[in-house]
Structure 1
């Protein structure tokens, strides 16, 4: 069997959706693909998770978007490690990675577009310069993966030829969320105790970066609108994630008088366990490129109330009967959550069956689609004489905490 050496280049490795998707993909790619990961900066908690999975992880230690010294370091790394294919994730890594791969003589270059919206890219406003640089460097790649039809449509609006775009959605590891009832009950009790959540409370949650586009402020106001009556379980809001809006959300909670009923869990890598502490997931974001949190919650057996998410919008409603689209308005969410709270009294903590939507987005299947794209890209890529011929050596043994060797002037995370 031929072994293919792949470099996954990503802007950072904090606990974001793209970062977690990369880790999940590497768990499910066929064994002939030997993958290393290099972050341009910020090797956060996902880097530790990748190392625990046996993946080599390096840090290029870029000092900012205009740290051009990172480019020659990356070129030397690609040449020295003799990668057969480079797969880039997130804007900055896509720009630098496409250029570096070409300079290093690697012609098989895949990028995944995770977060392209009409006016923002990865939560930041799209300027003319950002768009021009993206379009210019996209031509240096072999193919671009869009995580949804909506993202593919936006790439087409930017002039990326349809033949260069392949829709391969994000995925979930369904088995990771499936627990026997006694185990789930014990996990639920333990997580609630850790977070200071009453065991008998109705807990609805939001999962994602605490940024303006997620509209978690709607959930704070919805909590205020939920009636507090002696015959109803107490209501709590659990927010999992971190970001620039945390301080504003904390102030809002104090202003409307619900600060004692909102729990900020921060950035965590144990989302499946945290979901067991919830009775429902609420996702009021009005613009999403995919909506991974919706699938994670459905996989964990939760009812979902959502406002935007191609993951569900691009499927028939019957694929996720536990999910209901909801107007991004505090009163609308309060009404939906109140109905769920009333129903919960009859079966507190009971998990719903995983719906067809979860099976549709099974990562084991989607990873095979990525591997198929790798083969297509490699088959139509001409040889690159500037780079030593790719080798097909036996797999290297993995260290307990492996690290990709990077040039001397770079920093390495151990």
Structure 2
């Protein structure tokens, strides 16, 4: 049975979320209302399950009910999240706008369709035949990656024009002292600096279409190419930002936790871990300990990340007053919360297991850095796989720990 916390939850902690659905689209409003009812049913059935366990009664049927409702909540939460994504996408890309590089865009489209090389395309040319995508296309793909790659929406992201990015860290060490009015002022110690370099890896996708399709249809090259590329890029990036080993890819945030492969790499140390309070499970006490292990300076923008399986276990945790720590999202554009902090589903986080780190908590904007080498490049290849034309698309991406202090991890351990 899940351990309950004896610590009084802070005022910001557990609070009901009012379902303000009046301004939502009908399909999203229905999902929100269904989630509201499902969560009420979940709490009632879970309470019955705990009562049966305390009384020593058979609980298999009750457990099945709880798991069925939880599965339904998973489906509803996914529908709400997808609706939020569509709303954000329409706000981000909605409306007609004049292209800033219309001439190059037109030349690029002509090249994608038939291989024509116009003068306007020369500014994006390269010796290997690749061309840099138009500004609007590049932005479209990156915007979509932000929406479907959770770490891009959480972490700090910057573009670079160099092969890598180095950051200096002040290790302090400046000396000082008290002196009299006329006393000598000898030289004091100066601060020490250490640097950390973030390098790029290259991520690619290689979608293809037949030449006849490109010739005959009214295919929207921009939309089609962005859609094909975003799926592959997001899948590869998501895994690398979490657990990448740094070999031709980013160093994942989990590699910097205490005991991780990069624990000694950062000048300021590793990401500190808090024990869950159980050798093989999560506890409400462990969650509260994790929250309060984070310095208050970083708590204002803090959030949790975990996968869906971990979120399912989290739903059953209560505080000392019997309030559920997890609360669903009832407002478009806002995630579910855990003890009042946003909870973001990151599929590549580990499952709950002994000595695993299934949850990270903190301010990821200040904690993890993603770097993009400016420009997505496309090589049109009509020869390798005839009758298909392949569009070999590449982007150089890197990432690593910016500062360990704004982040904490929860380790499954007693």
Q: Same fold, TM exceeding 0.5?
A: no
The TM tier, using the shorter chain, reads under 0.3
Name the TM-score, length of structure 2 as normaliser: 0.24
Name the TM-score, length of structure 1 as normaliser: 0.24
Larger Cα Rg: Structure 1 or Structure 2? 2
